[in-house]
Structure 1
Amino acid sequence: MSEDIYDEYPSLTLAKESTEQNIEPLKLGQRIKDIRSKLGITLEEASQRTGLARSTLSKIENEQISPTFQAMQKLAVGLQIDMPQLFEPPRKKAATGRRDITLSGQGKPHPTPTYEHELLATQLSNKKMMPFKSRIHAREFEAYSDWVRHDGEEFLLILSGSVRFFSEFYEPVELHEGDSVYYDANMGHMLVSTSEEDALILWVTAK
């Protein structure tokens, strides 16, 4: 493939760069900072664990100075990691090329007494998000036998109509077309339509 085609199609250039540059140069300071962040400790706590001055650690993390071998040993012991872990280069996550198109009205139907769901992107497995459209048939709080709750976080966007959004720890709120709400799905929640026609919403559940 000639180089000219990359000028014509920038997305191909990005794809080419991602395959040719999938390993970044080692930045030791950033690597140490990442390890400290994953451990959930502050610079002060890292200083106490390693015996290195807080100012020294800060300069190392910001690539202002290079750590001595002795400092590296203290870092490995204090952070409870093996020395080679400090030198592992960060890798860019390669694109998997996953894609799933759902044409209008062609989602997988999943009716319930209160909602009529249309599941989207059903060909992909092990998704981190589960998107679906729902038509809300319920018209009153009593239509539910109990709160709806499940693992993860959830986002909903009103596509048409209006709903009353009930949640376990908040007062009910009226939502209209274009309104949205993001919430912890472990918290009890439920929806009822308040518009003349059953409201249509987009729901996205994240694990």
Structure 2
Amino acid sequence: MNEEQRVDVYPSMTVVKEQESDKTEHIEPLQLGKRLKEIRMTLGLTLEEASKRTGLARSTLSKIENEQISPTFQAMQKLATGLDIDIPQLFAPPKQITATGRRDITRNEQGKPHPTTTYEHELLATQLTNKKMMPFKSRVRARAFEDYSGWIRHDGEEFLLVLGGEITFFSEFYEPVNLAEGDSVYYDANMGHMLVSVSEEDAHILWVTAS
């Protein structure tokens, strides 16, 4: 988008480099037995059930969980296969994903209008701040390449889905391509791009811009 068209939806970000600390990072010792027990409990398995699934004796599993013996590589393969996990999961739990509970519903035609000379944008999910994506619907007013003063460029990547009508999608390094209802394109928004309606009525599109 050019200066006239660009919607400033991402607040500026400042990266602060942390100063080096004199403290030595504390590394927890590997507790394979504890990790194995966590996996077994998460799966809701008793030692007996885990023994049947892995082919390892119940006593062997118990000794591994209590750090009395270290499993061989062959035993770890049986554990991974029987518990349906990858071997690395025996050594480190998967990263925990914390749901923030963010949600924003935009009713039909209730988005925030933002008209320009070439588009009529309807911004969606405007109640949320610091979004990683900016979704919006647009009516494409432009009818010719010459309607633009130059290539549109901005940071991030974009996904475009044609909701109705037909457009010609121009991009700096590719030949123009026509896109009809249901067609889509994903592209690097730093590459010059623009689009025009070629259908009788103005085309309608869904745009999603990601930072």
Give the TM interval when normalised to the shorter protein.
0.5 to 0.7
Instruction: Name which of 162, 165, 179 aligns with 1:161.
Output: 165
Partner of 2:191: 187
* SS of corresponding position for 1:110: strand
Count, aligned residues = 132
| Counterpart secondary structure, 1:165 | strand
Give the gaps of 5 or more residues in structure 1: 1-24, 28-58, 65-86
Counterpart of 2:122, as a letter, is E
The structure richer in helix per residue is 1
Q: For structure 2, which runs of at least 5 residues remain unmatched after alignment?
A: 1-33, 37-71, 78-90
Shift of residue 90, structure 1, vs aligned partner: 4.2
| Separation in structure 2 between the aligned mates of residue 186 and residue 26 of structure 1, nearest angstrom | 45
Among the aligned pairs, what percent are the same residue? 75
* Correspondence 1:101 to 2:105: yes
* Aligned residue among 142, 146, 150 for 2:146: 142
- After superposition, the Cα gap between the structure-2 partners of 1:99 and 1:172, relative to the gap in structure 1 and judged at 3 Å, is same
1:120 is aligned, of 117, 121, 124, to 124
What is the RMSD of the two structures over their aligned residues, measured on CA atoms?
2.5
Q: Deviations over 1:150-186 (max 9, x none)?
A: 1111000000000000000000001101110000000
Listed one character per residue, the Cα deviations across residues 38-76 of structure 1 (whole Å, up to 9, x for unaligned) are: xxxxxxxxxxxxxxxxxxxxx98xx66xxxxxxxxxxxx
SS in 2 for 1:181: strand
Distance in 2 (alpha carbons) for counterparts of 1:125 and 1:146? 30
Question: Structure 2 matches for 1:22-101, cutoff 5 A?
Answer: 26=35, 89-101=93-105
Give runs of ≥4 in structure 1 deviating > 4 Å: 87-90
- The whole-number CA distance in structure 2 between the counterparts of 1:134 and 1:153 is 17
1:94 shift after superposition? 1.3
Asked which structure has the greater CA Rg, the reply is 2
Q: Is the 8 A contact 1:26 1:90 kept in 2?
A: no
Alignment partner of 1:151 out of 147, 155, 163: 155
